[in-house]
Amino acid sequence: MHIHKYEKAVLAVTGALLLGFLAALFYSAFAMDIHVHSHVESIDPANVRTTPPFDQPGVREVAPGRYEAVIIGQAWSYTPNEIRVPAGAQVTFIATSTDVLHGFAIEGTRVNMMLVPGQVSRATYTFDEPGEHLLICHEFCGLGHHMMYGKVIVE
Amino acid sequence: MSTTVATADALGTTVPAAARAGTPVVHDATGFSIPASHNAIIRWNVYIAFAAMGIAVIHGLAQALSYAGIDILGWFPGLKTYYQGLTIHGVFNAIVLTFAFTNGFLSLTTARGLGRPVNGPLLYAAFGSLVLGIALASWAMFTGRASVLYTSYAPLQAHWAYYLGLVFMVVSTWITSANLFVTLHAWRKDNPGQRIPLLAFVSVATYAMWDLASIGIAIEFVAFLLPWAFGLTDGVDPLLTRSLFWFSGHPIVYFWLLPTYVSWYLMVPRHAGGKLISDALTRIVFVLFVLLSTPTGFHHQFTDPGISAGMKMVHLVMTFGVFFPSVITAFSVASALEIGGRRRGGGRLIGWFFKLPWSEPALAAQLLAMLVFILGGVTGLINASYSMNQVVHNTTWVPGHFHMTVGTAVLLTFMGITYWMIPMLKGKELWSRKLAVAQAWIYFIGVLVFARGMISGGLEGLPRRTYFAAATYGKESWDLAGVWTGVGGTLMFVGAMLFLVILVLTVFAGRKKEGQDVPFTETIQPPAPGGWETRLDRIGFWVLVGAILVAIAYGPYLIQAIPPHLSVPGFKLF
């Protein structure tokens, strides 16, 4: 097969470009520690409310400046549906669903994960500035999906 | 059927004799004709495809306006909820339109490429399976028994008729695949040692890719969702069924795209008066899609719990790999177009692009489709970019992206193909060439405005799949995005409806014109009669290699996920 020099060039440039993108992504993952939320932990979805830590949903300080927010998603609300943390708090969100799939996206942050019945989702984020963020269910969960939201208030 | 055949050589490029020997049916359409019954089935596939689109985009208009805060759902008689309409929009556009059109179009290109009709009974069987599937799923969707959206995520539980209907639709693609392989096998027996004509090769390779890719949803629906919907099992594992969905749910994108590439590689150069340069590179691109399309699905699940970061990274790398053949395609198709544009007096750098025959509806629609696909491809690469996905996942960015890929690159190409295919099959002229060109431009402008809204809204966190006009929350920075979306969506709706008008009037009021042929190009570099390139034609072997890559990419997850650990009962929350 004869490959024209322009074809060779475009193949090389494309390959280099894609490898460059991949290198940037791996750099951000390993050197800057920016990962996707990939917590692997299963839970019985029928007994979420009696399984720790979901037997006591809410925010608690686990170390100075570090918080855990345990949140249950169900059609069509979050429990609790409003949490308050101080500015500068590093918050680990621990969440799951008791029924169908739900979304868990805190607008204005990179906390964006799925709640899948039977799986526990976790994400950590530091809220530097005071303000109010919507917590949005962004996966279709039935008739009242567009009414399912909460709030994260940074004080 | 040989009236347009002679023009291939009018281009002035010398074609080596081997090109004729290697691809005997490219130039010579004498003796080839489609049996009338096959012609009818192919046409009805196209009609069903666009009838489905027509129904789907009516609700599409309601969705776009909903993001602008305008609620027109009250005008839909019989529609119970927004999400019922959204389910129909997804199933009819993403599955019915694409399956029906591709079953018809690639049966035609295989027959024309090989110079022999496909198998009749299999052609009818595929059509029957498709119609049965549409009937079952439509009943469930239109009566509000299956408002689960086209992704069918368990444990939302639809009526069994919905799942069974989707199964019959997939079966129709498998029957079509069997048909193409049977036809190819018969051709090989009659032409031992010959290279497969390129037009047939790319058609069959498209179905080979999908055969491998569709295993995921086949297992999901037949082993899990159907028995569960029938009440034979108590529950399903939602993460497993979701993962099986995306096993097929990403490569289905290439099952939408490869028929588009068939046209871009082999037909668009002909419309433009150019020629495709390389036979081998074209085959390599399709082989790469067979290999790399499927082991990519976890990039739809980057934000999912229960799947390790390592697995997600493997799929990240594979997804970037499958971007490679698309960039080659951009180069190959652009160079074929450049040959056409420069023959027409276009300048060296970009002048040739404007000299292309833009008044040809089939070409104009597909050129505009390609322009939008550049934006669709770039936004897709961002979706696939691991940690960046967290910024856009499940926001309106994603529908903004895929309305530029399947919703334009594919749809506008299917419309462009229809602009020559239905006139050819009906023996008629297109009803209005000018209106057809205008239609493509209206849709093109519409999608750019629409995507501007969805993309910018998504970056601000505006959620997708949401009845926004009735949402109990909101954010000021979403307002403008919603307006762009509403205006653009309205233009897209007008463009789609104009297309239907042109299609109907062509069928009923087009002027007679017999003797039209499938317009396809030859390659400047012909297929090699021997050597390693002949191995590209071993489609079955490439599917096998693809299956090994799938096993590597999915094996570690599936081995621990099957048999399922969980049994979650169904919820009917719609």
Measured between beta carbons, the chain A residues lying within 8 angstroms of B391 are 110, 112
Burial B155-167, CB ≥16 within 10 A → b, else e: bbbbbbbbbbbbb
Q: How far apart are the first and last CA of chain B?
A: 53
Please give the pLDDT value at position B360: 97
* DSSP assignments along A23-72, one per residue: HHHHHHHHTS---------B--GGGGGGSTTTTS-EEEEEETTEEEEEEE
pLDDT per position as a tens digit, B370-385: 999 999 999 999 999 9
Please give the pLDDT value at position B30: 61
Residues B444-449: what's their mean pLDDT? Answer: 98
> Are B294 and B532 within 8 A, CB to CB?
no
Question: Which one is catalytic: B163, B464, B499, B557?
Answer: B464
Note which residues in 94-123 of chain A have CB less than 8 A from chain B: 99-101, 103, 105, 107-108, 110-122
Please give the pLDDT value at position B438: 98
Out of A67-71, B327-331, B537-541, which region has the weakest mean confidence (pLDDT)? Answer: B327-331
Please give the pLDDT value at position B29: 62
> Are B222 and B268 within 8 A, CB to CB?
no
The model's confidence at residue A6, banded by pLDDT at 50, 70 and 90, is confident
| pLDDT of B32 over the 80 cut | no
**Is B402 one of the catalytic residues?**
yes
Please give the pLDDT value at position B346: 86
Out of B340-349, B413-422, B554-563, which region has the weakest mean confidence (pLDDT)? Answer: B340-349
pLDDT per position as a tens digit, B396-419: 999 999 999 999 999 999 999 999
Measured between beta carbons, the chain B residues lying within 8 angstroms of A36 are 302-303, 309, 312, 386-387, 389-390
> Are B454 and B481 within 8 A, CB to CB?
yes
E strand spans, B399-539: 523-525
Peptide bond into B174 cis (omega under 30): no
pLDDT per position as a tens digit, B71-92: 999 899 889 999 999 999 999 9
CA atoms within 13 A on the CB side of B273: 17
What percentage of residues in chain B have a pLDDT greater than 70? 95
Rounded CA-CA distance B235/B487 in Å is 43
What does the mean pLDDT of chain B come to? 93
Please give the pLDDT value at position A2: 73
pLDDT per position as a tens digit, B183-236: 999 999 999 989 999 999 999 999 999 999 999 999 999 999 999 999 999 999
Rounded CA-CA distance B146/B378 in Å is 34
Please give the pLDDT value at position A65: 95
| pLDDT of B362 over the 70 cut | yes
Q: Do A143 and B464 touch (CB under 8 A)?
A: no
Encoding tokens for residue B391?
């910024």
| pLDDT of B8 over the 90 cut | no
Rounded CA-CA distance B409/B403 in Å is 8
Please give the pLDDT value at position A1: 67
| pLDDT of B11 over the 90 cut | no
What is the H or E stretch that residue A151 is in? strand A149-154
When CB atoms are compared, the residue of B83, B386, B394 closest to A138 is: B394
Please give the pLDDT value at position B466: 96
| pLDDT of A79 over the 50 cut | yes
Encoding tokens for residue B567?
């049994």
Please give the pLDDT value at position B28: 58
Which residues share a beta bridge with A59?
A69
Please give the single-letter amino acid code of residue A111: V
Note which residues in 20-79 of chain A have CB less than 8 A from chain B: 21-22, 25-26, 28-29, 34-42, 45, 75
| pLDDT of B14 over the 50 cut | no
**B324, B284, B204, B292: which is closest to B534 by C-alpha?**
B284
Residues B257-262: what's their mean pLDDT? Answer: 98
**B37, B29, B39: which is closest to B113 by C-alpha?**
B29
Please give the pLDDT value at position B387: 87
| pLDDT of B6 over the 50 cut | no
Please give the pLDDT value at position B104: 98
Residues A77-81: what's their mean pLDDT? Answer: 96
Which residues share a beta bridge with A61?
A67
- Return the SS3 of B77: coil
Name the residue of chain A whose CA is nearest to B528's CA. A1
pTM, two decimals, is 0.94
DSSP assigned state of A90: E
How much helix, strand and coil, in percent to the nearest 5, is found in chain B?
Answer: 70, 0, 25
**Is B464 one of the catalytic residues?**
yes
The model's confidence at residue B349, banded by pLDDT at 50, 70 and 90, is confident
pLDDT per position as a tens digit, A27-70: 999 999 888 888 999 999 999 999 999 999 999 999 999 999 99
Smallest CA–CA distance, residue A153 to chain B, in Å, is: 15
| pLDDT of B1 over the 60 cut | no
pLDDT per position as a tens digit, B458-509: 999 999 999 999 999 999 999 999 999 999 999 999 999 999 999 999 999 9
Please give the pLDDT value at position B13: 38
When CB atoms are compared, the residue of B390, B391, B471 closest to A146 is: B471
Please give the pLDDT value at position B17: 40
Rounded CA-CA distance A128/A115 in Å is 25
Encoding tokens for residue B387?
């940690």
Q: What are phi and psi of B387, to 5 degrees?
A: -65, -30
Residues near B165 by beta carbon (within 8 Å), at least 6 away in sequence: B132, B133, B134, B135, B136, B137, B138, B139, B140
**Is B465 one of the catalytic residues?**
yes
